[in-house]
A and B are shown apart, each in its own frame.
Chain A
């Protein structure tokens, strides 16, 4: 083989050892999506073969040599109806099938564990409820539904895990979510697929699927000390949220204990279910989200809390089931007289905490 150029040789070796034609199926939804995919491939192949066969056989049968004079035919309503109705039927099947999968991908099950993801130029920051922070990697346990709550700090990004067949855009200013249940342990690609500026192609990472034991070990080994809810609790205190949002009878803001998941009536008369997205809106854009019976005195926190900070607050409020913790926060704040002054930089401190500590 000495006369084969090394470049070509290297290429051939690579071809033989590193050639992929289909991505791994590593999530619960992947086989379902692939079933539809292969159905479509099949239909396409049949259609394409049909077209090629027709064109080829007509070309051979009716070439000028064999068939010097053409027979003029107007058309055939029956035939035309056939190739209108059959494709239409097939397309409608694909539509319904596709829609079922679409809703499945974007409807997380109730028992999913939540992980928060912030996209920014050009990295993915992952916040685990346990307080673990990651950059450009995501560790998840196998066989456990995981819901991702995504947001972008700047431009559109898209969180894509081909092996799981899921993808969702991270949008500035709004939460989106997607879920998956990994079925195979291993390391998979994580891509940003929405063009997001200069280093778009560097905004990649890996998804590590671990056995529950390994995952527990990883959690323990990479914790930053505080859980995300605890970070949120601190932020809650340092921004003096509890000055109004407390359980005192004369509180100026609504009591937030158990507010997550409840239904609220706003001053505009609208009824909303309190979810992650609503909490974010209420923190950053309070004027439009005033609970009925309260005056619109809450200032906006737009630009003062990083997206990671908002995630921490959301996580804190989500887990706020008894006012015991709130009371405790209140006491902590009262112990710190200059907490008020620290309010603004607190968000930034938290953002700094968002940096990975692995």
Chain B
């Protein structure tokens, strides 16, 4: 074992990937399409969300290309509007919301709690099919001429003033919403009812805690979005007027109902990412997460408070000023648990024994970028500065720091971290470290200038802008191309590693989670026999004793 890495791989000349595992157990397309196995469904999800990520990414590339010059010259304004709308819809509903939960979470939660599968395998499969149906509807929307409401569907613009495919987009999101509800529901039931003997709540890995919190938000928030979209669709088709001021409705009511889901949705997107970071930071510093309980409860606190801050999206939209005060105060409160998490992760490193493999690099990136993203959220949560900064590129930069700098970094970190478990093979370390660094640099170059642009007052969703904003926009577009390379690299070398990667063995990272104590890739039923949890989470001393025992028995 070298001094700079914890990776311990089996002897490559003799090592074999286990003949029987969840990938090889059954063959044929049908065995995948009708599977109940959470790991296979996770794999299906991984493929489909990657597909949508690259569609969304291509649209992002088009946006940055258009913004290279102040005039709207690459695209006409209405094309630009369709591009950023589809970018938002696809990235939010088809990538970010299902990203970590439906792929890594789906794969890991049964493994982490010591169960054979999620509680409701058929519902899990149904959730993927709903996602696919929704995805097809979204693609249909794009092919049929797109939609240009912005992903927020602001009424009465979306209901009365546009003649693009609002209805099909709304229904696509409606269906995708049910996919998300069923995933969340399945997680909650699994975490409550399927834990193995000895697996108490406070022995659960923090990844499970954060997915649990996100699932609560999915289950309780998404239905409100669903009914809101139904009302928007009805408003367009039979003109019922609940959101139409001309008929006596209130467009702000739409904002209330929409953000009641869509603010918690931000936490649906970031919480599972935070869970990944907890696992990764602990594993690569060989230490229990500093203040496990605080980190666990901060996830739940974010979920609970996260429900009652939605109107901070409407401070200048004409809600009552008193309501603005209350929502601003609650927003400040919900910022605190995130701060707690950041410092707890930092102190997990204290007196650890740290190595710097790719997942850890991404985790470091996450911590830096999420700190910026979180702090700028406070700028927007304070009512006063929100007046100046909202609806500008400042807000664009803020949520990209949280969503891309936070969630996407965490997603990539998690994919690299669990890749050996998922496929049985290692990814190539050097090039992936390079990709992590490229992503980090590209990201900052892309989105940091946008904070300055926002402070200068450049409004979001502009196809053309005053020429004095060009320099910063050029920086941003240049950064986007670097970022694009950073995202293309993993898909290339990860595909490569499927065939040529080193055999990983059961526990290449020497991690403590239950998932690492079984073969990689796991068996269809996960555990040969149901495990009994007899130690705390992240107990590296237990792991050491275990390994000594094995050595002794082999010797």
- A–B contact with Cβ pairs below 8 Å: the answer is yes
Q: Give chain A residues whose Cβ lies under 8 Å from the Cβ of B378.
A: 40, 44, 91, 94
Complex Cα distance, B318 from A41, in Å, reads 27
Using Cβ atoms and an 8 Å threshold, which residues of chain B touch A162?
Answer: 388, 392, 456-457
Q: Cβ of B344: which chain A residues have Cβ within 8 Å of it?
A: 75, 80
B17 CB–A CB distance under 8 Å: no
Task: Identify which of A15, A94, A166 gathers the most chain B CB atoms within 10 Å of its CB.
Answer: A94
Q: Are B335 and A72 in contact (CB under 8 A)?
A: no
**Chain B residue at smallest Cβ distance from A16:** B471
Stretch at the interface among B92-100, B192-200, B459-467, B485-493: B459-467
Q: For the complex, what is the distance from the CA of A143 to the CA of B400, rounded to whole Å?
A: 39
Of residues 65 to 80 in A, which have CB atoms within 8 Å of B's CB atoms? Answer: 65, 67-76, 79-80
Q: Find residues 146-190 in chain A having any chain B CB closer than 8 Å to their own CB.
A: 154-156, 158, 160, 162-163, 165-169, 171-174, 176, 189
Report the bound CA distance from A53 to B100 in whole Å: 29
- Which residue of the partner chain, among A67, A95, A172, contacts B328 with CB atoms under 8 Å? A95
Contact yes or no, A91 B251, CB < 8 A: no
* A95-B457 contact, Cβ under 8 Å, with A15-B471, A62-B285, A167-B391: no
Of A199-207, A262-270, A312-320, A332-340, the segment with at least 4 beta carbons within 8 Å of chain B is A199-207
Which residues of B lie under 8 Å from residue A165 when comparing CB positions? 387-388
> Measured between C-beta atoms, what is the minimum distance from B264 to chain A in Å?
20
Tell me which of B291, B318, B354, B540 contacts A63 (CB under 8 A): B354
Binary flags per residue of B337-374, CB closer than 8 Å to A gives 1, else 0: 00110111011011111111000000010011001100
Interface residue? B551 (CB, 8 A) = no
CB of B288 closer than 8 Å to a CB of A:
yes
Tell whether A101 is near chain B: CB-to-CB under 8 Å: yes
Shortest distance between the CB of A70 and any CB in chain B (Å)? 4
Given A54-B346, A70-B540: A156 and B251 interface contact (C-beta under 8 Å):
yes
Contact check, B336 vs A197: say whether CB atoms are below 8 A apart. no
Shortest CB-to-CB span from B164 to chain A, Å, is: 10
Q: How far is the CA of A20 from the CA of B452 in the complex (A)?
A: 9
- Also in contact, A74 and B385, with CB within 8 A (given A91-B335, A162-B457, A200-B81): no
Chain B window 457-500, contacts with chain A (Cβ cutoff 8 Å), 1 for yes, 0 for no: 10111111111111100100000000000000000000000000
B37 contacts chain A at the CB level, 8 A cutoff: no
* A98–B392 CB distance below 8 A: no
Are A156 and B317 closer than 8 Å at their CB atoms? yes
**Smallest distance from the beta carbon of B468 to chain A beta carbons, Å?**
5
Q: Is there an interface contact between A193 and B347, defined as CB atoms closer than 8 Å?
A: no
| Any B CB within 8 A of the CB of A345 | no
Assess whether A51 is interfacial by the CB under 8 Å rule. yes
**Measured between alpha carbons, how far is A88 from B354 in the docked complex, in Å?**
30
Instruction: List the A side residues contacting B3 at CB < 8 Å.
Output: 64-65, 68
Kindly list chain B residues whose C-beta atoms are within 8 Å of the C-beta of A358. Answer: none
Main secondary structure of the interface of B (DSSP, over half): helix
A77 — nearest CB in chain B belongs to which residue?
A: B291
| A192 on interface, CB distance cutoff 8 Å | yes
The answer to whether A55 touches B382 (Cβ under 8 A) is: no
- Counting residue pairs across A and B whose Cβ atoms lie within 8 Å, the total is 301
- CA–CA, A191 to B333, complex, Å? 32
Contact B456 A44 (CB under 8 A): no
CB-CB < 8 A to B367: which residues of A? 51, 55
Contacting A201 at CB < 8 Å: which of B292, B293, B457, B464? B464
Q: Can you name the residue of chain A whose Cβ is closest to the Cβ of B346? A: A54
Q: Is the CB of A99 within 8 A of B384?
A: yes
Beta-carbon contact of A102 and B384 below 8 Å? yes
Q: Quick check: is B290 within 8 A (CB to CB) of the other chain?
A: yes
- In the assembled complex, which residues on chain B have CB atoms less than 8 Å from the CB atom of A87? 335-336, 339-340
In the assembled complex, the CB of B554 is this many whole angstroms from the nearest CB of chain A, namely 23
Say if the beta carbon of B325 comes within 8 Å of chain A. Answer: yes
Q: In the complex the two chains form, is A98's CB within 8 Å of B349's CB?
A: no
- Indicate if B417 sits at the interface (CB-CB under 8 A): no
Asked if residues A101 and B385 are in contact (CB atoms below 8 Å), the reply is yes
Q: Which residues of B contact A97 (CB under 8 A)?
A: 382, 384
Measured in the bound complex, the distance between the Cα atoms of B375 and A37 in whole Å is 12
Would A33 and B336 count as touching, CB distance under 8 A?
A: no
Q: Mark A301-319, 1 if CB is under 8 A from B, else 0.
A: 0100000000000000000
Known: A172-B156, A198-B148. A193 touches B287 (CB 8 A): no
Chain B count of residues within 8 A CB distance of the other chain: 98
- Per a CB cutoff under 8 Å, which of A63, A100, A155, A168 touches B355? A63
In angstroms, Cα B458 to Cα A193, docked, is 8
Pairwise interchain contact A168-B316, C-beta atoms closer than 8 A: yes
Q: How far is the CA of A271 from the CA of B262 in the complex (A)?
A: 37
Given contacts A72-B288, A83-B339, A83-B343, whether A98 and B386 have CB atoms under 8 Å apart is: yes
Per the bound structure, the CA–CA distance linking A204 and B462 in Å amounts to 10
A23 within 8 A of B: yes
A196 interfacial by beta-carbon distance below 8 Å: yes
| Alpha-carbon separation in the docked complex, A36 to B540 (Å) | 46
Residues on the A chain within 8 Å of B77, using CB:
198-202
Residues in B whose Cβ lies below 8 Å from that of A204: 466
Q: How far is the CB of B199 from chain A (nearest CB, A)?
A: 20
B111 contacts across to A, CB distance below 8 A: none
A106 contacts B by Cβ under 8 Å:
yes
Contact check, B383 vs A102: say whether CB atoms are below 8 A apart.
yes
**Chain A residues with CB below 8 A from B342, complex form:** 51
* In the complex, chain B residues whose CB is within 8 Å of the CB of A70: 285-287, 351-353, 540
* B253 at the binding interface (Cβ < 8 Å): no
Which residues of B13-54 have CB atoms within 8 Å of chain A's CB atoms? none
A172 adjacent to B457 (CB under 8 Å)? no
Is B428 among interface residues, defined by CB-CB distance under 8 A? no
Are A62 and B291 in contact, CB atoms less than 8 angstroms apart? no
Q: Cβ of B379: which chain A residues have Cβ within 8 Å of it?
A: 37, 40
A356 on interface, CB distance cutoff 8 Å: no
Closest chain A CB from B223 CB (angstroms): 25
Query: CB within 8 A of A64: which of B251, B353, B372, B466?
Result: B353
Bound-state Cα–Cα, A58 to B321, Å: 45
Q: How far is the CA of A52 from the CA of B372 in the complex (A)?
A: 11
Which residues of B are found within 8 Å of A64, using beta-carbon distances?
3-6, 286, 353-355
How long is the Cα–Cα vector from A91 to B459 in the complex, in angstroms?
26
Contact of A105 with B350 in the complex, beta carbons under 8 Å = no
Query: Which residues of the other chain, A, contact B368 by a CB distance below 8 angstroms?
Result: 48, 51-52, 55
Complex CA gap A281/B384 in Å reads: 29
Determine whether A43 belongs to the interface, using a CB cutoff of 8 Å to chain B. yes
A195 interface residue (CB < 8 Å to B): yes
Is B347 a contact partner of A48 (Cβ separation < 8 A)? no
Q: Is the CB of B387 within 8 A of A99?
A: no
Judging by beta carbons under 8 Å apart, are A62 and B474 in contact? no
Question: Does B423 interact with chain A (Cβ within 8 Å)?
Answer: no
Can you list 19 A-B contacts (CB < 8 A)? A33-B388, A36-B385, A40-B375, A44-B376, A65-B3, A73-B350, A75-B344, A80-B291, A84-B336, A91-B336, A94-B332, A98-B385, A99-B382, A156-B157, A156-B251, A167-B390, A172-B251, A195-B154, A198-B81
- Supply 15 further A-B pairs (C-beta < 8 A) apart from A71-B351, A73-B287, A197-B162: A44-B375, A58-B352, A59-B349, A62-B349, A64-B4, A70-B286, A70-B353, A83-B340, A91-B378, A92-B332, A94-B332, A101-B387, A105-B387, A193-B391, A199-B77
Q: Which of B's residues lie within 8 Å of A, judged by CB?
A: 3-6, 72, 77-78, 81, 148, 150, 152, 154, 156-157, 160-162, 245-246, 251-252, 285-288, 290-294, 315-318, 321, 324-325, 328-329, 332-333, 335-336, 339-340, 342-344, 346-347, 349-356, 364, 367-368, 371-372, 375-376, 378-379, 381-388, 390-392, 452, 455-457, 459-471, 474, 540-541
Which residues on A are within 8 Å of B, measured CB to CB? 11, 14-15, 18-23, 33, 36-37, 40, 43-44, 47-48, 51-52, 54-55, 58-59, 62-65, 67-76, 79-80, 83-84, 87-88, 91-92, 94-95, 97-103, 105-106, 121, 154-156, 158, 160, 162-163, 165-169, 171-174, 176, 189, 191-202, 204, 302
The 10 residue pairs across chains A and B that have the minimum distance between CB atoms: A162-B457, A98-B382, A101-B384, A173-B245, A75-B291, A102-B383, A98-B384, A58-B349, A193-B391, A201-B462
